[in-house]
Chains A and B, each alone.
Chain A
Amino acid sequence: MTATVSFDSVQVGTELPAQSFSLQRVNLVMYAGASGDFNVIHWNERVARSVGLPNVIAHGMLTMAEAGRVLTDWVGDPGAVLEYGVRFTRVVAVPDDDAGALLEVTGTVTELLDGRRVRVELSAAAAGEKVLGQARAVVQLA
């Protein structure tokens, strides 16, 4: 693997470039097809509301994938991500309009590890509410 970020260039507190991701209904449909997760709560508003959800919701795994782009875009090589985990703390409702939901993701180096690895903590919010908890990764740097 070939990370483009040098371990020597980061310290605890180094911030990864923040990104925002727009999630619209079409993205949920595409993710359903690509992942094989066709749970109706991700595409059928009638059913989603009938089970108490505010609207159709994004797949948790789609939210996790988008947040992960902050890691992979930073380090360059997707293979440099050694560990990645999240808690899904709040659903991301995706209304049927032209805006959808906006996922805002930041990342910070929280620990320097041996072997030129670092621990990164991610923060992901939609509509001003945190949607992931304990979103952490271990990344191999150059």
Chain B
Amino acid sequence: MALDQAFVGRTYPATDAYLVSAAKIREFADAIGDDNPAYRSVDAARALGHRDVVAPPTFVIVVTSRAASQVTSDPALGLDYSRVVHGEQSFTYERPIVAGDRLVAVATVEKIRSAAGNDLLTVSCAVSTADGEPVATARSVIVARGTAKD
């Protein structure tokens, strides 16, 4: 069944604050095999002008996936998660994430459309500090394969 257009514009509650740790940044950098010292050394990060170790650009997904899953697992929306693939991802940054940030994410359903029998769901997640400083925006296109014409 096609996804309900009434969900377009719906905003979900902000996630609980996520405290970014230096250890998590290092774990993420290790996982992508990136030995950039700015991900590991406070001195190296400060030499680049950052307050603390900086996170790789795609680290934002660690914070936004919690917000986006509110949408994809919303029983009222009825997305069949077993048919879901990641279609597109983009990030815009107000500033890089650094260790010590307390971040919240707010997910909004931006667009729902059907193409070639698939449902395409665009979700934007606004990431800010718990104090309200904007940090980044993540936009995801989630594709539910073969659901639009059922």
Contacts and interface: CB of A to CB of B under 8 A. Distances in A.
B47 interface: yes
A84 B91 contact: yes
Interface in A45-69: 51, 60-62, 64-66, 68-69
Interface in B15-53: 24, 27-28, 30-34, 36, 38-39, 47-50
Interface string B64-108: 011000000000000000100111111111011000000000000
Interface residues of B, number: 37
| Interface of B: prevailing SS | mixed
B34 A61 contact: no
A66 B32 contact: yes
A86 B27 contact: no
Nearest to A77: B48
Closest 5 CB pairs of A and B: A85-B90, A79-B96, A34-B31, A30-B31, A65-B32
Interface of B: 24, 27-28, 30-34, 36, 38-39, 47-50, 54-58, 61-62, 65-66, 82, 85-93, 95-96, 139
